Amino acid sequence: MTEEDIKKAEVMAERMLNVFGISQLAIMGIYKKLIISLSLTDLDELVKNKIYFNPIFSPASQNKLKKTLDDGSNIITIDLNTIKLFSSDEGTAIILHEIGHALNPELNNINGEYAADDYACNRGFKQFIISSLEKGKLIRPSEFVSKSTELRIERLSTS
């Protein structure tokens, strides 16, 4: 890892609300890809927008916070049981997509999805957003088989 990567890893570690979750994402190969895919500017934006990550185990899990969160903090929850069904690239793309939502709270419905997809695409994960949607349709049809999924795949495939 470069010096910059180490700095980025330090910032990211501060955004993670549970240490066990970091180790689980690391085992899946997602944690490092997430850090590499984000620039220091991207990470500064996470800090400025009070965005945190809380990896959890569905259907329910708990963890004690070791820090005080400001009003308006935005917690991206990551279901480890689901994300492990995807490849490390797809899992990283899914988390990048969610960051895109957190940074564009004013956009709703399909426009919010497009903005979130663009965030992942701009960091090199377009093909993995597409493959995560295709895989999602197979393994979680009740959540993924939708008009919105089709519109997103079509837009990503033709842009």
Which chain residues interact with Zn ion by CB under 5 A?
113, 116
> How near is the Cβ of 148 to Zn ion at its closest, in Å?
8
> How near is the Cβ of 159 to Zn ion at its closest, in Å?
17
Phi and psi angles of residue 51, each rounded to the nearest 5 degrees, phi first: -95, 130
Of the two residues 68 and 109, which places its CB atom closer to Zn ion in the complex? 109
> How near is the Cβ of 92 to Zn ion at its closest, in Å?
15
Of the two residues 11 and 76, which places its CB atom closer to Zn ion in the complex? 76
Of the two residues 23 and 122, which places its CB atom closer to Zn ion in the complex? 122
Residue 124's alpha-carbon distances to 15, 23, 86, 115, in angstroms, are: 22, 24, 17, 15
Half-sphere exposure of residue 63, counting CA atoms within 13 Å on the CB side?
A: 16
> How near is the Cβ of 121 to Zn ion at its closest, in Å?
13
Of the two residues 89 and 98, which places its CB atom closer to Zn ion in the complex? 98
For residue 7, how many other CB atoms are within 10 A of its CB?
14
Of the two residues 7 and 104, which places its CB atom closer to Zn ion in the complex? 104
> How near is the Cβ of 116 to Zn ion at its closest, in Å?
5
Under DSSP, the state recorded for 50 is T
Q: Which of 127, 123, 96 is nearest to 39 (CA)?
A: 123
Q: How far is CA 116 from the centre of its chain?
A: 10
Phi and psi angles of residue 30, each rounded to the nearest 5 degrees, phi first: -85, -40
